[in-house]
Amino acid sequence: MKLEVGKGYRVKPHCKIEGVFSYVRNGKKLPVPSEYSLWCAALNNTRATFFVYRKRKKGGWILLKSRKMAVTVTLNLDQAGFLEEVDSKG
């Protein structure tokens, strides 16, 4: 699967991938829940960086924040096969 900047993605059901979240020190990898919506912000030859959104209780999506900063997650491009593209409405 080819990733594109500005598109939305979600982890496929029953798939486990790990990424480096921006709020975690020392680059420790954590699992990325399939409930999160990931919006591709940057790509290079080996990695992709995504903004992380979560579902609101009242409906819609909200940007996940840590200390007023947007949370990002960095994934290796070899994990792209475990992502599925979603439309802007989620």
Q: Residue 21: beta bridge partners? A: 73
- Which residue, among 72, 66, 80, 81, has the nearest Cα to 20 in the 3D structure? 72
Q: What is the mean pLDDT of residues 1-24?
A: 93
Give pLDDT tens digits for 17-66. 999 999 998 889 999 999 999 999 999 999 999 999 999 989 889 999 99
pLDDT digits (tens, 9 = 90+) for 64-90: 999 889 999 999 999 999 999 998 655
The domain limits of the chain are 8-86
**CA–CA distance, 31 with 60 (Å, rounded to integer):** 23
pTM: 0.90
